Structure 1
Amino acid sequence: MVQRLFLAVLGGVLLTSSYEPVAIGWLLPLGVACYALATRDLTVRRAGLAGLLFGVVFYFTHIWWMKDSIGADAWAALSSVEALFYGLLGLTVPLIRRLPLWPLWLAATWTTMETVRSGWPFSGMPWGRLAFAAIDTPAAPAVAYVGMTGLSFLLALSGFALAHLAETIVGRPRSGVRLPAAGAVGVLAVLVAPAVFPYHAHEDGSATVAVVQGDVPGPGNDILYDYLGVTQNHVDATVRLAGEVSAGERPRPDFVLWPENSTAIDPFRSGSVNAGIQEAVAAMGVPVVIGGIVDDDPKHVLNQGVVWDPVTGPGDRYTKHHPVPYGEYIPFRKIWDPKFGQLALITRDQRAGTRTTPLRIAGIPVADAICFDVAYDDVFPPQVRDGARLLTVQTSNASFIFTHQIEQQFAITRLRAIEAGRWLTVASTNGRTGVISPDGTVVASAKPRTTAVLVEKVGLSSALTPAVRLGPWPARMFTVLTLGALVSGAVAYRRRREFDGPAPEISHSEEAPAPTANTSEAPVV
C-alpha cells in the first residue's frame, strides 16, 4: 500500500507540473497513468484513499495562488472539496477495472467527474480540467473538433492507455503487449491528428479593436485601494488614444474594450466615474465596452460589461454568469451571514447573469465573458452558436497579480479562441491583456502592471467549429457511458467476489476417511 500511495503522490505532482507555471505538457499522461497504477487491484476503500491523496497533492498545489491572494483558509477549503472528487473517482476504479477496455470507461468516468465538479457545489470550480493544460502542445488543436470536454477525455484516455501498456509489459509475455501498444498508439494518433489537419474557420470580415489596460494604483493587488484612480487611468488612456487617432498615429478602432472592474461603483450614477466614461466615449467617437459593478437592489449587485455608445449612451449589457462563491457572494446568506475576515467585505451578493446572446458592438455581434466565466462551457459556445463573430474577455486579475493564476487563466483563454475558431481580445486591469488569433497565437500583449493600449485588426467569422456544434452533447454522452460502466462494473465486481469467496473450512471434529491403498501399496505375497 505504501508503494501505491507513493504513486498517488507522484501522479499529483506530475499532473500539476503540466499546467502553468511549469507547463510541461507531456507530463500530463504520466500523471494520469500514475493515478491508474496507484488505484489498481485495491479494494474500494483503499482505491478511494489513493485517489484522495492524488487529489490532495494535485489540487493543493495547482491553486497555490489562492493561498497568497485570497487567503489560506479559502485555499484549504476549496482544495479539500475539489480533492474529494478524485477520491470519489477512486472508489469507482475497482468496479470499472472489471470491464473489458477499462481505460476507455475510466476515461469517460474521469471526464464526468470533471464535469460535475466544474459546476457543483454552487457554481463549481473548473480549474484543473485536463484540457486546460493542452495549450502549446500538439493536442491543443483538437479542442476545435471535440471541445474542452472531449479533449479532457482524450487526454485521460491517453494516460490510462499508457498505464494499461505498462501493466501488460510487466505482467505478460511480449505476445500480449501488441494490443495495448496498438491502443496507446491509436489514442495518441487521434489526439495529435488535428495538429496535422487543424480546423480553419473562414473569415468573412474584419474589425479594428482597441484594448485598454489602465493599471491599478498603489500596491497593484487591491482594486479597491484607489478605485476612482482605476477608472481615471482607463479614461486617461482612452483619451490619449483618441488624440493619437486624430493625429494619424494609430488607426481608428471600431470599438474600445475596457476590463472588468474598470469601474468599481455603479457607472450610471452621476459623479466623476460617469463623467469620466462620457468624456472617454466622446473623445473616441466609437463605442466603449466598460466593466462595472452595477446596483441591482439594496442587497444585490451585477458584474457587467456595458456597451457605451457615443450617441445613444449605455445600451447592451452582459452580466457575469458565474460569480465566485465566498468571493463575490455568500451562499445561503439567510442561514449564515459571516461578519469576519475577507467575508465581511461582501456586503451585497452578486447576481448571476443568464444572457446567451452576443452583444451588439458597432454593428458586430460579440461574445463576452467576464473573468472566471472563460473557464465554463456555458458562456462562449451558446453566444457563438447565436451568431457571435468575435470573442472578448473582461477580467480583473489584480488580486492575483503576484501569482501564477494569471498565466493559468490566460492559457484557458487561448484555448477558448481555438475552440470557437474566433479572434479573441482580453482586457485586464493590470494582468494579461492581449489579442489572440483563432489558432491560439498571442498576436499582441501588454506587460503586467503597466498602462497600455493595444490596437489590432482582427478577423470576423460566422463559421462554427465542430466543437461549438457539439455543444453540451459530449458531456451528456460521457455521463451516460459512466453510469453504464458503473452498473456493469458493479455487477462484475459482485460476481467476482462471490466466485472468489472464502475457501470452505475443514472441520477437524470429523474423522478423515482412511486412505485407500493403491496397487503399489498392495501387500507382497
Structure 2
Amino acid sequence: MAPLRREATTVVLSGPETTTRDESDDRRPRATAPEGPADRVPTPPERRPRWPRRLLAALRHDWPATVLAALAGLALVPAFPPYDIWPASLLAVAALSLLTRGRSARRGGWLGFALGFPFFLGLLSWLRVIGWDATVGLAVIEALFLVPMGAGLAATARMRAWPLWAACLWVAQEWARDRVPFGGFPWGRLAFANTSTPFTPLAALGGAPLVTFAVAFTGALLAWAGLRLWHLHRAGLLAGRAALPALGGAGLAVAVGASGYAVPVPTGANDTVSVAIVQGNVQQAGMDFLGRPMMILNNHVDATLQLADDVAAGRVERPDLVLWPENASDLDPYRRPEAYAAIDRAARTVGVPILVGALVDHPTEEGYVENQGIVWDPETGPGDSYTKQHPVPFGEYVPFRDQLSVLISRLERVPRDFWPGERSGVLDVGPARLGDVICFEVAYDGIVRDTVNEGARALVVQTNNATYGNTGQPEQQLAMSQLRAVEHGRAVVTVATSGISAVVRPDGSIEQRTEEFTQDVLSTELPLRDGRTVADRVGAAPEWALAFGGLLAWAWTGLGPRLARRGAAAQAGPESGGEDGAGERKE
C-alpha cells in the first residue's frame, strides 16, 4: 500500500475587506488547492518613487548638509568685489569638499547645486536692474554646472590625493561654464575673487585657470588637514607623530598659497604713450540710461573739448591719443551726419586720434548692428575699427527670438541683434598699438589672449556699465582687468561711460580710477610692452590638462573597480576550469 501523501496547504486569514460577513466570522485556517500555472497572477514590478519624492526624501535625510552648503555659497559671495574678502573662497572650497565626502554621487551633485544657487544669486544680484526673474534664472543655470562637479567631488573623495582631483574638478566646472550655453558666462570664477592676492601672480604662468586650480587645491588641502586632525583628536592621538601628516598637508596648503610670490611678473616698459581717458557720464542709471538722442555723445564731446581747452591753456600736456568708452556715440556716425560732425569736431579740436565706441548698422546684414571701437583721426576721420566678437545673449542679441519673444515680452527691449566680429581688436591708435576688448569680453580668456598674441602692447577695455551702476558689477569687471594685466604683462585701461574708468599697471595695481556717475578725464603715461608671458605662450593647454585630469579621475572611480573585478574573474576562471577538467579525467 502506497504511503499517504499530504497535500501542501496555504493558510489564509481572511479579513472583512476581502470576504463576506459570514466568512469573516470564521477565522479558522482553510485549505486551498495548489495554484496551477493558469491561476498565477504576475506580480507587477515595484514602482520607484518619482524624482520629486526622491528629492524630498534626500532633503529630509541631508538637510543639515544642504543648509551648510547653502551657507558656504553665501559665504563665497563676499570673496568677490566689491567686498574682496578673498579667504572666503578657500573656506567655500573646503566646506564643499568636506560636505561631499562620504556621500553618493547623486547627493554630492545636490550639495553642489545647494552651494551654487545662493552663490550665483548673490554674486549676480546686479541683474535685478533687469528683473529678479532674470537673476534667479541665470543663477539656476550657472548652479547646474556645480551638480556634476559635486558628484565628482563625492566620487573622487575615495581616491588617494583627492584634494588634487577636487582642484581639477573646479577647473573643469569653470572650463564648461566658460563655453556653454551660447558661448558661456565666466562670471564667478575663483580666479576673479583672487585678483589682488598671493595667488594672482600665477596668472602669468597659466592664466585664470591656474589661479583657480591653486585656490581650489589650497582649500581642499585645508579640508584634508582639518579632517585628519579632527579624527586624531577624537581618537586621542592628536599629539606626537600621528599629527605630522595633517600638519604637512596644512603646510603644503600654505606653500601653494605662497607660490605666487615666486613667480616673476614682467612690468618693464619698452615704450610709453600719453593717454587721456574720457568718461562723459550718462543722464541716469538703469535700463534707460541713453536718454534723448545725442546726449551721451555730447557729454563725451564736451569733456574732450574741455580737455583741449586745458591743453591750450597749458594746464595739462597734450596726450598722444584719447580713449572713449563703449556706446560713447549712441548714433551711427556713418549714417547720422550730426554724430559724425560732433566726433570729428572733438578730434580736430584736441588734435589727436580718438578711439570711439559706437553702435554701427551692419553694412550688408539688414536689421543687425555692430558694437565697434573706431579709430578717428583728426585729419582723415574714421579709419580702422574693431567689432565686438562676443555679443551678450539676451542683452545684445536674442537666441530663438521668434519663439521666445512670444513668451517673454521684455525681449522687445532688444530690438535688433548685434552681429559678432571675426578678428581680434589690435588697432593702431596714433603712436600706440593697442588691443581693444569691449565690455564683458574681458571675462573670456581666449579673446584677450589672442589680442595680446597678435601684437597688442597695451589693452583697452571699452565698456558701458550704466545699466548696472552702483550695484557692484563695475567693481567685478574692473577686477578682471587687474587679473588680465598680470596674466599678459600689459597695462590695462578701462574706459566706461559712467564709471568705473581706471588705469591698471602691468602688475595688477590700480594707478587711477574714477567715481561712478561723474564726468571725468584721467591722464596717464601708459607703459607699452612687447614681451609675452608664459601664459600667452602656452594658451589654454593648462586649463584643458587640469580639467581633463579631474574628469579622468572621476571616470576612474567607476571604471577602475570594474576592470579589477573583470581581471579577478578572468584569473579565477581558468583556475576553476582546470580543476573541473582534472576531475573529469579522473572519472
TM-score normalised by L of structure 1 = 0.90
What residue is the counterpart of 2:190 in the other structure? 130
Equivalent position of 1:415 in the other structure: 483
- Tell me what 1:61 maps to: 122
Q: Are 2:462 and 1:394 equivalent residues in the alignment?
A: yes
Shift of 1:480: 2.5
1:404 aligns with 2:472: yes
Distance 2:206 2:142 in 1: 25
Cα 1:402–1:186 shift into 2, 3 Å: same
Are 1:99 and 1:488, in contact at CA under 8 Å, matched by a contact in 2? no
**CA 1:333/1:137 → structure 2, altered by over 3 Å: closer, same or farther?**
same
Does 2:90 correspond to 1:29?
A: yes
User: In structure 2, which of residues 275, 279, 290 is the aligned counterpart of residue 224 of structure 1?
Assistant: 290
Match of 1:99 in 2: 159
In the alignment, the residues of structure 1 paired with residue 471 and residue 253 of structure 2 have an alpha-carbon distance, to the nearest angstrom, of 35
Range with greater deviation from structure 2 (357-366 or 319-328): 357-366
1:78 to 130, 138, 145: 138
Q: Deviations over 1:305-361 (max 9, x none)?
A: 111111222122111122111111111235444475431121211122231251111
1:286 Cα deviation from its structure 2 partner: 1.1
Equivalence for 1:522? none
Aligned residue for 1:378, secondary structure, equals helix
1:467 — aligned with what? Answer: 535
Whole-Å Cα distance in 2 between the matches of residues 341 and 224 of structure 1?
Answer: 21
Q: What secondary structure sits across from 1:349 in the alignment?
A: coil
Q: Distance in 2 between matches of 1:497 and 1:26?
A: 43
Partner of 2:444: 376
What is residue 202 of structure 1 aligned with on the other side? 268
Do the aligned residues in 1 keep the contact of 2:172 with 2:551 (CA within 8 Å)? no
Relative to 1, partners in 2 of residues 1:479 and 1:245: Cα closer, same or farther, differing over 3 Å? Answer: same
Q: Deviations over 1:75-122 (max 9, x none)?
A: 111110001111221122232123211111121111011111112100
- In structure 2, what residue type is equivalent to 1:58? F
Whether the 8 Å contact between 1:95 and 1:492 is mirrored in structure 2 is no
- Is the alpha carbon distance of 1:399 and 1:338 closer, same or farther for their aligned partners in structure 2, counting shifts above 3 Å? farther
1:3 aligned residue: 64
Residue 360 (structure 1) aligns with: 428
Structure 1, residues 229-275: CA drift from partner, whole Å, max 9, x if none?
10000011111111211222111111110000111221211322111
Matched residues in 2 for 1:77 and 1:169: separation?
41
The 1:105–1:219 alpha-carbon spacing in structure 2 relative to 1, beyond 3 Å, is closer
**Residue equivalent to 2:181:** 121
Q: Is the 8 A contact 1:7 1:37 kept in 2?
A: no
Correspondence 1:454-493 to 2 at 5 A? 454-492=522-560
Q: What SS class does the counterpart of residue 311 from structure 2 fall into? A: helix
The aligned amino acid for 1:310 is P
CA distance, structure 1, for counterparts of residue 301 and residue 505 of structure 2: 27
Kindly indicate whether the alpha-carbon contact (under 8 Å) linking 2:218 and 2:256 is maintained by their aligned counterparts in 1. no
Which residue of structure 1 lines up, in the alignment, with residue 47 of structure 2?
A: none
- Whether 1:311 and 2:311 are equivalent positions in the alignment is no
Shift of the 179–146 alpha-carbon distance from structure 1 to 2, 3 Å rule, reads: farther
Give the distance between the partners of 2:279 and 2:406, measured in 1 at CA.
34
Q: State the match for 1:256 in structure 2.
A: 322
Whole-Å separation in 2 of the counterparts to 1:354 and 1:178: 56
Q: Distance in 1 between matches of 2:296 and 2:354?
A: 16
Q: What is the deviation of 1:10? A: 2.3
Greater Cα shift, 421-430 or 4-13 = 4-13
- Code of the aligned partner of 1:241: L
Structure 2 residue aligned with 1:436, among 500, 504, 509?
504
Aligned sequence identity (%) = 38
1:191 to 254, 257, 266: 257
Residue 221 of structure 2: aligned partner: 161
SS at match of 1:150: helix
Q: Distance in 2 between matches of 1:378 and 1:275?
A: 36
Tell me the residue number matched to 2:245. 179
Question: Could you tell me which residue of structure 2 aligns to residue 149 of structure 1?
Answer: 209
Unmatched 5+ stretches in structure 2: 1-61, 567-587
Q: Select the residue among 234, 237, 246 that pairs with 2:303.
A: 237
C-alpha distance in structure 2 between counterparts of 1:477 and 1:241, whole Å: 50
C-alpha distance in structure 1 between counterparts of 2:495 and 2:242, whole Å: 54
Q: Distance in 1 between matches of 2:267 and 2:472?
A: 31
Q: Counterparts of 2:249 and 2:417 in 1: how far apart (Å)?
A: 50
The equivalent residue for 1:272 is: 338
Q: In structure 2, which of residues 81, 92, 97 is the aligned counterpart of residue 20 of structure 1?
A: 81
Q: Partner residue of 1:291?
A: 357
Q: 1:492 and 1:97, CA in 2 relative to 1: closer, same or farther beyond 3 A?
A: farther
Distance 2:242 2:371 in 1: 58
Greater RCO structure (CA 8 Å; 6+ sep): 1
Q: Find the counterpart in structure 2 of residue 281 from structure 1.
A: 347
What SS class does the counterpart of residue 379 from structure 1 fall into? helix
Query: For 1:456 and 1:202, how far apart are their aligned partners in 2?
Result: 16
**How large is the RMSD of aligned CA atoms in angstroms?**
2.0
Per the normalisation by structure 2, the TM-score is 0.81
The 3 A distance-change label for structure 1 pair 338 and 320 is farther
Once the 2 structures are TM-superposed, how far is the Cα of residue 145 of structure 1 from its aligned partner?
Answer: 2.3
8 A contact 1:161–1:180 mirrored in 2:
no
1:452 aligns with 2:513: no
Instruction: Give the equivalent residue in structure 2 for 1:501.
Output: none
Q: 1:88 aligns with which of 145, 148, 156?
A: 148
Cα contact 1:368–1:393 (8 A) shared by 2: yes
Size of the alignment, in residue pairs? 497
Distance 2:466 2:293 in 1: 12
Letter of the 1:264 partner, please give it: D
Residues 485-511 of structure 1: CA distance to partner in whole angstroms, max 9, x if unpaired? 12212224668999xxxxxxxxxxxxx
Q: 3-state SS of the aligned residue for 1:266?
A: coil
